[in-house]
Structure 1
Amino acid sequence: MSGNRSIAQDAADKIKELAPGFTPRIAMTLGSGCGDVANAIENPIVIDYKDIPGFPVSTVQGHAGQLLLGTLAGIPIAGLKGRVHYYEGNPRAMVIPVYAMRLIGAEFMFITNAAGSLRQEMGPGALVALTDHMNFSGVNPIVGHNDVIGPRFPSMYNGYDKELRDMLLAIAEESKIKMHQGVYVGTSGPSFETAAEINGYRILGGDTVGMSTVGEVILCRHCGLRVCAISIVVNYAAGMTDDHITHEETLHYTKLAAESVATLVKAWVAKVQALPSDGKKDGH
């Protein structure tokens, strides 16, 4: 894990070289199909992941694999357009991108994901502000020697930052955009969950389920990034309807939700930018 710090620093140095003087306090991970939200970032410097040391290259349709550095509503933003998932074969794929965001100055991370709903009242197209997660992926991206960039045993208390979430909920109410709240269940994929698993997750208190986000939030908390995250519901989970789940369905509903997400994010970044700085650049 100490090597990850060195590689993350190399990545941060490369980003600073390609965008001198650019220091965003806010970073965003844009998930399945939500890369279109990145179109709202103005005058972006676009850097392919393959050109940044340690950054992974996604193999999934709809995940572009680019870092966008620009402004959103006049606020400097770093946008991770496309993510690499554990099911692609590397459980630590997002380690370097997340740590690098912290090392270039980010203090806050906004994360989106496409998810299945465990609740009848949250159908396809619903937006869910995440309050917590349950990790059923079987992996943790900070296993190993990890105390170079953060604490050996990081707390996940308030991992989904209540202050940041309350800001988002207030914006949604003002904008007349319906926003639910819920707990995200993270699985490894790539197979979708069974009906029995979904029933178990629901009994345990899960509200949405997907194959991302959990590892990223763990990494964010490890290096000191404060997190706000939302699920875009793209289907009811297995056993709740007779419909089959497809990746094309996922892309369809995330694209439909992109306009609402962009509205929320633009107002949210302005409020977050006004928060006091933590004065740290690397989690220490």
Structure 2
Amino acid sequence: MTTEINELTYIAQIRAAASFVQERLGSLKPVIGLILGSGLGDLADQVESPVAIDYNDVPHFPVSTVEGHAGRFVAGMLEGKPVIVMQGRFHYYEGYDMRKVVFPVYVMKQLGIDALVITNAAGGMNRSFSAGDLMLITDHINMTGANPLIGKNDAELGVRFPDMSEAYSREFGMLAKRLAPSIQGGDGETLSLQEGVYCGISGPTYMTPAELKMLAKIGGDAVGMSTVGEVIAARHAGMRVLGISCITDMAIGEELEPLTHEQVVAVANRTKPKFIGLVKAFVREVQV
């Protein structure tokens, strides 16, 4: 059953959750937020002097129910900057209202974060991609059938009609592209960063061949079940976003083969060295 949010209390819930988190962070003031997708949560283990906060303990937070999502905040220092990492996220297909899915984004904004790195595991629809590639998200197509901003707008969160002409920061993207050639994986190969448009779907089923053909024809390069709602909320809140997809499988409609979530997580695990290297380099170099 869909979790409903009382329109009158949404901002109050955000404030309460942010206050709870900040109390546990003490003097730490994160400047960068990171949302880690399926199989990519190990980056949180790189955080120094970590403070871990289970989502279950945070007021008004949903609960992460998906394998590969640990379900906690990890805050501390990463590459010399204070960060807060979402080790696991929430999805529309879990039965949550889209506003509940993006609730943590607004909490991070309340904590003072203006720069957000959002990652996901995705299927590659561009024939020039390969499983194990990383893709810089340059734009997205919202095919979820939902938008987190539907309903009464609270001006404290953002404007009624936020601009999406630069949903993903061009400045952040240029930095990621500049850094990519210096990143090596466990195989010793240099990272070749792909670029493309991410199609967000509701899930939880993977796509049919006909659906994948349609998404490719309308301009999609990768497809997944997250990210677009969070990016909409982040832009609503005035945050700058870097989006990175880990291409865990090839989702070519004409050549589609059976796929399991375990396979997705396994490929994400193999790609982690390059992924972690890129994100850490970005955190180190970005100006916030």
**TM-score normalised by structure 1 residue count:** 0.93
RMSD after superposition? 1.2
- Tell me if structure 2 keeps the 8 A contact 1:11–1:96: no
Structure 2 unpaired stretches of 5+: 1-6, 184-189
> Is structure 2 residue 198 aligned with structure 1 residue 170?
no
AA of the residue aligned to 2:145: G
Instruction: Please give the secondary structure, in 1, of the residue aligned with 2:129.
Output: coil
- Tell me if structure 2 keeps the 8 A contact 1:94–1:216: yes
Match of 1:41 in 2: 47
AA of the residue aligned to 1:188: S
> Is structure 2 residue 146 aligned with structure 1 residue 134?
no
Counterpart pick for 1:10 among 7, 16, 19 = 16
> Is structure 2 residue 204 aligned with structure 1 residue 190?
yes
Distance 2:10 2:84 in 1: 20
Instruction: Please give the secondary structure, in 2, of the residue aligned with 1:92.
Output: helix
* Matched positions, count: 274
**TM-score normalised by structure 2 residue count:** 0.92
Distance change >3 Å, CA 208–CA 19, structure 1 → 2: same
Distance 1:65 1:202 in 2: 32
Give deviations 1:92-134, integer Å, cap 9, x for gaps: 2333211010111101000110000111211110100000000
Match of 2:4 in 1: none
Percent identical pairs in the alignment equals 42
- Tell me if structure 1 keeps the 8 A contact 2:131–2:250: yes
Give deviations 1:144-196, integer Å, cap 9, x for gaps: 11233100111111111100011011100233311000000000001111111
Match of 1:264 in 2: 278
Distance 2:66 2:138 in 1: 27
> Is structure 2 residue 267 aligned with structure 1 residue 253?
yes
Match of 1:20 in 2: 26
Cα displacement (A) at 1:238: 5.2
Cα displacement (A) at 1:33: 0.7
Q: Which runs of 4+ in 1 moved over 4 A?
A: none
- Tell me if structure 2 keeps the 8 A contact 1:2–1:146: no
Give deviations 1:15-36, integer Å, cap 9, x for gaps: 1111112111100000001011
Range 144-153 or range 243-252, more displaced: 144-153
